Amino acid sequence: MLAKSSTELVRQRNSALVLSALRRHGPLAHTELSDFTKLSSATVSVITADLERAQIIEKAEQQAASGRGRPRVLFSQRRDCGYLIVVVISSDAVQYSLVDYTGRLIDRFSEDRPQEVSGVSSFIVGLREALNRIVARSQLSRDKVLMISISSKGLVDASGPVLRWSPIFGRDEIDFAAVLRDEWPAKIILGNETLLVAAALGQQEENRAGSDFRALTALSLGHSIGLGIARRDDEGGHQISAPNFGHMMHVPGGALCRCGARGCIEAYAGFYAMLRTAFDVPLDTIPAKFVPIAELDKIAASARHGGRRNVLAFRQAGLALGNGLSRVLSLHERMPIVITGPGVRYYDLLIEGIVEGLAESHVVRMEGMPELRVVADEQTLVFEGHLNRALSIIDNDIVRKGATVIELRGEAG
């Protein structure tokens, strides 16, 4: 029994290596699979035959560019093996995407989130309706969906898909598995949005030719302030974390934050905080849940023309961010900082304060200013993070259960 169990574990590990190689590199020939996985040719043959028989992968011939010689046989995932729904909850909208097993986007739509107080119950009604609509538009059965991957800013429970606190719903928790399990057999996962961003950036660095990736920090600027850290571990994998950066203390007893505390970084660097400073609103004023970008653009335009109060609003925000980042580097190590989110449009106004705050760190004084990069398209990073995480989990679930996807879904569909 022990020998059989050990053999099965080895088979699962080898199958996971093959699926991971296809996920990372796209369609591959037999010899390429052997090279990338370091498995013998015979082992690759057995694994690919098993996966093909289970309708998880398929093979196709690719004619040589010269038109001569035997065509190459390439293995790839079957598109219809299963489907993934990605749900991105942001301050003003919820985006829904339907993706096939290869990671190809099939359908997408967004729904504006009402800014008036509507509560969790109405959000859940809209969520259920939208999930049903996205499969109906592609004429898919719910049983074809293997996973629903959801993200939001805020605090995510480590043990399950429970949103414990968010800037949108406050202390009203949402257990997404409990909300959806009566209609959806799919696995439900939930991730912190900036954690997914950091994971996507880390994977991009890992894939870059000649990369010597060790670690990076992703800082998301917007209505909320988020931070994610991606680090390479001793085994070559990535450790991803999302500390509650926006609600770290910046000024004890300072400005009122959306979380209810006083003096958080976000209470000085979030969109609502910059608006409050620009209009000299009392620091104990209850923060706005949502600030239109157009309002911040007006303040930024004034600051760029020398408006002193508006210059102060962005400089104060930058200083709060820089001081917070200096603490992050002191706790971890000096690493590149990638700044993203809708707030990067004001980077020119924030950078002076960010650099000043970072310069207070002992590690920066000793080792120099870390590399600062700007990536404007945060939404693409969020989506990429979803795909990397969700499809990897789906692959491992298929392998671990040692069954076809049809069996995984209870032979439905």
More confident residue, 385 or 117: 385
Residue 254 burial (C-beta neighbours within 10 Å; 0-12, 13-18, 19+) = middle
Which pair of tokens denotes residue 328? 């992050």
pLDDT the model gives residue 407: 43
* Residue 139 DSSP class: T
pLDDT digits (tens, 9 = 90+) for 210-256: 678 899 999 999 999 999 999 988 777 789 999 999 999 999 999 99
Q: How far apart are CA 165 and CA 173, in angstroms?
A: 6
Contacts for 196 with CB less than 8 Å, ≥ 6 apart: 151, 228, 381, 382, 384, 385, 386, 389
pLDDT grade for 168, boundaries at 50, 70 and 90 = confident
pLDDT the model gives residue 5: 62
pLDDT the model gives residue 118: 64
For the structural domain made of 2-77, what CATH number should be given?
A: 1.10.10.10
pLDDT the model gives residue 406: 37
User: What are the two backbone dihedrals, phi and then psi, of residue 74, each rounded to the nearest 5 degrees?
Assistant: -110, 140
Domains 81-195+382-408 and 209-379 share a fold: yes
Q: How far apart are CA 212 and CA 78, in angstroms?
A: 33
Give me the chain's average pLDDT, please: 90
pLDDT digits (tens, 9 = 90+) for 39-69: 999 999 999 999 999 899 998 877 666 556 6
- Provide the CATH topology of domain 81-195+382-408: Nucleotidyltransferase; domain 5 (3.30.420)
pLDDT the model gives residue 410: 41
| Bridge partner residues of 356 (DSSP) | none
More confident residue, 119 or 326: 326
Which pTM does this prediction carry? 0.89
Give the residue extent of every domain in the chain: 2-77, 81-195+382-408, 209-379
For the structural domain made of 209-379, what CATH number should be given?
A: 3.30.420.40
